[in-house]
Amino acid sequence: MGEPVEWLPDGTPRSQRFQDIYRSSAGGLEQARHVFLGGCGLPGAWAGQPQWRILETGFGLGLNFLATWRAWKDDPQRPRLLHFVSTEAWPVAAADLLRSAAPYPELVPLALALAEQWFGLVAGLHRMDFEQGRVLLTLFVGDVKDALRQQPFDADAIFLDGFAPQHNPAMWEIHTLKAVARHCRRGTRLATWTVAGEVRRDLTQCGFAVEKTEGLAPKRHSLKGVFAPAWEPRGRGPQRTVVPGHCVVVGSGLAGASVAASLARRGWRVTVLDEADAPAAGASSLPAGLLAPHFSVDDNLLSRLCRSGVRATLQQARALLRQGEDWQASGVLEHRVHDAADDPRRLAASTPEPAQDWNRPADPQQKAAALLDAGAVAYWHQQAGWIKPAALVHAWLAQPGVSWRGHAKVDRLVRSEDCWRLMDAHGHELGRAELVVIAAAHASADLLNGRLALQPVRGQVSWGERRAGLMLPPFPLNGDGHFIPHVPLGNAVAWFCGSTYGRGETDLAPRRADHQENLTRLGSLLPAAEQQLVAEFSSRAVKAWTGVRCASADRRPLLGELEPGLWVSTAMGSRGMTFAVLCAELLAARVHGEPLPLERRLAAALDTLRQQR
């Protein structure tokens, strides 16, 4: 449902919670353009810049974001990347976003794209991307001061928005404005519609030079300012500016290809090296895999990380892949075979509504379609489906600015004065660059001289072509293993089940014992499918895919800078499709000092510092 919005007869939206209007009767788009964009000198101020970063203190109905996005699209001098970071304690429903934008035809297509990603807005940070990743909305759901503590970036422009100080004083109090100031560099511009004397005095105290300017009827004035403190803020040096140059990525699986695409979008010239003769030759060669959030009753660290990762990957799949051929947003049913004590109905009653966009108890119709008994403990993941990993890899490597080279096995790295040199076993230089990213799965350990503890994990998936007469569910299942019933492969349709998890093993030869293990687990996950497929396993008609994944000691990815210009993104384990995009965007954000795609604590949970030797 979202935060309730009352629509007055003249079309003005009003908050029932704060007893205040979202915008004046003069119109939201006019206010966004006059007060906020105009007050910050936009779009002129961003002309020719590589990036522009806007911090807003109240998302509301999203018109400031949509107006800024529209201005970016219409400006031939726009920055390569637009970051819009906003906070919202009480997100409205997607329908209200659309209704708010409906009077402005130029905003309607943008509002529709926003509404498509406006789901599952539980407390915390959510990253949405548009325009092939060149317009990034980072929305923090929660208290504004908590939000500002989660992001370490410097803003180029500040939109101070929110309900009037008398209705929502916490949005305008001095501690909030101090937190805003900590995101400013000298010259950061600020704009707001309120000219309240206390707000002006507090902004001045925080280091802003402010002035009243012409308002938009019925308001006579608005406020604009610039961060120009008379003192030197503690702990603040010049803004970090990174000029994109040449980067070499070692490894062309999900981890490496996603890093290449993220950096290329920011203007880097990226060379991807791989010892194989084709991309996605390792674990990313899996014919099809599941993308689904991790569900825990206490919403633990892994669950929160997986939510962010699934959202990021779904956005990439929608933008780059063919629905029904390369991927399918089918939803996934999780059958909790070993959790018979769970009470999904009790859990649903205590679960916030936005969280049910991610996980909710499966209904009787879904259980029946999955061929499960009515009493089975099962949950439905709406934001989930299957993907062909290699399709994602090839799509990323095809992005402008990315080139791929095979038969290029890097043996060691040599630091020169201003770059890293990548050498093969014969001492020949394969490449050099000021930025190098190691994303070579378990082979990363040797390249990094054992500085990270990495473990190879062998996996075997059993699969076969669907024969006539099979009665299988219309969507995938997961739990103890997984089952994907319907994946197009050329002129055939295939099913997949597995996977085994052999720690420390690297042998790729198929094993009959692993087929039997997959069949046994399928019998627990989905007995009706096991009964229908046992003949394939018995007759040895079943096929095998084997691969070696890479895991860390705590089974979370490892992402970080080991030395200046030397980064690593690896240890995706069996969740490469969940974590690859997220880690790539986190790496790019840290390289450029951008807003992070995760809260600080979650980002730290992926940092190599936790395991670096």
Tell me the pLDDT of the chain averaged across its residues.
Answer: 93
- What pLDDT score was predicted for residue 163? 87
Residue 349 pLDDT exceeds 60 = no
pLDDT at 23: 84
Q: How many CA atoms lie within 13 A of 548 on its CB side?
A: 14
pLDDT at 499: 93
197-205 helix and 174-181 helix, angle to the nearest 10 degrees: 40
pLDDT tens per residue across span 420-445: 999 999 999 999 999 999 999 989 99
In this predicted model, what pLDDT tens digit does every residue of 546-571 receive, in sequence order?
999 999 999 999 999 999 999 999 99
pLDDT digit string, tens, across residues 248-298: 999 999 999 999 999 999 999 999 999 999 999 999 999 999 999 999 988
Strands (E), 288-357: 289-291, 327-328, 332-335
Task: Say if residue 59's pLDDT is above 90.
Answer: yes
User: Tens digit of pLDDT for each residue in 159-186?
Assistant: 999 888 888 988 999 999 999 999 999 9
**Dist CA 128 CA 333 (whole Å):** 25
Q: State yes or no: pLDDT of 341 exceeds 60.
A: no
pLDDT confidence of 241, banded at 50, 70, 90? confident
Position 337 confidence tier, pLDDT thresholds 50, 70, 90: confident
Phi, psi angles (nearest 5°) of residue 443: -70, -15
DSSP codes joined into one string, 430-487: EEEESEEEE--GGGHHHHTTT-S--EEEEEEEEEEEPPTT----SS-EEESEEEEEEE
More reliable by pLDDT, 342 or 82: 82
Tokens describing residue 375: 């009493």
What does the domain layout of the chain look like in residue ranges?
5-227, 246-282+390-454+554-610, 455-551
User: Which position has the higher pLDDT, 409 or 10?
Assistant: 409
Q: Per DSSP, what are the bridge partners of residue 569?
A: 559
3-state class (DSSP) for residue 328: strand
Q: What distance in Å separates the CA atoms of residue 444 and residue 450, rounded to the nearest whole number?
A: 8
In tens, the pLDDT along 453-463 reads 999 999 999 99
Q: Which CATH superfamily is domain 5-227 in?
A: Vaccinia Virus protein VP39 (3.40.50.150)
Helix (H) or strand (E) holding 160: strand 155-160
Fold of 246-282+390-454+554-610: FAD/NAD(P)-binding domain (3.50.50)
Report angle CA 159, 183, 72 to the nearest 5 degrees.
45
CB 165 within 8 A of CB 194: yes
Topology match between the domains 246-282+390-454+554-610 and 455-551: no
Here the tokens at position 571 are 């240890």
**β-pair partners for 21:** 14
CATH superfamily of 455-551: D-Amino Acid Oxidase, subunit A, domain 2 (3.30.9.10)
